[in-house]
Amino acid sequence: MHIEFNVPDLQSFEKTLLPYWTKTIFIGSISKEYQINALAGTYMRLVEAAIAEYNLAHVKLKEYWDTRRSINLSAMHRSISHFESCLSNMYRAANSFRTLRRHPSRDPLCVHINTERPAFATNAIGDRFRQMRNEIHHMEELVVDGRLQPGQPFALQPDGPEIPHPTEQNQTVKTIDRLVIGEREVTFTELAGWLGEMVATAQRIADFAPLTSRGTTE
C-alpha cells in the first residue's frame, strides 16, 4: 500500500498571534470592559493552542507513516491526542468568538468584528465542532462504562480513501485526508480552512485600535 497525504501545512501560522500579546503587555488592554478583554484573550489563546496542536499532530502523523523498521504506534497515539485537543480548542474558540460578537455592551471591538461573518462562526460549522467534540467524549464514556461493542471504533482516526494503484498490480494508494470517529468526519482541508479563518479573525482583533491605556481593566 502506498500512502499519500492531503494534510495542509500550517507551520506559518505559529507566530502570527504574537503581536496581540505584545500590545496587551506594552500598550494596554483592547477594551475598557473586563469581560470583552477576557473573551478576546480567551479566543486568541485557544486559536494559538489549536494551531499548535494541529501542527504537532501533523508531525506525529507523518512520523508514524515514515517509520519503516517498526510500527510506531506511539507516534500515531500522540497524533490522535493532538488532533483531539485541536478540535476541542477550535470548538471553544468558536464559542468565545460568537459570545464576543453578541456581547450586549456593543463595545467598539464587538462592532468591529461584526463587519464580517467567517464560516467557523456560523451555526452549521459550530454544530460540526460540537458533534465531533461530543463524539470523542461519548466514545470515552462507552469505554469507561463497558458499553463499547466488539469492533466498534473508540478513538479519533486519521483516514481516507484507498484505490487500486494505477500501475502496480496488487497495490493500492491510500490518501490520508480526514479525521473520522463513529459516523462523524472532517477533512484536513476543512480544518485548515477554518483555522485559517480563525487566525485571520485573530489578526483583525490584534490590529484593532485604539487600545486603552494599561491598567483600565483592573
pLDDT digits (tens, 9 = 90+) for 168-190: 888 899 999 999 988 889 999 99
Mean of pLDDT values over 87-107: 94
pLDDT recorded at residue 217:
42
pLDDT digits (tens, 9 = 90+) for 50-88: 999 999 999 999 999 887 677 788 999 999 999 999 999
pLDDT recorded at residue 186:
95
Asked whether residue 215 carries a pLDDT value surpassing 60, the answer given is no
Burial of 156 (0-12, 13-18, 19+ CB in 10 A): buried
Count of helix runs (H) and strand runs (E) in the chain: 6, 6
**Residue 94 vs residue 133, higher pLDDT:** 94
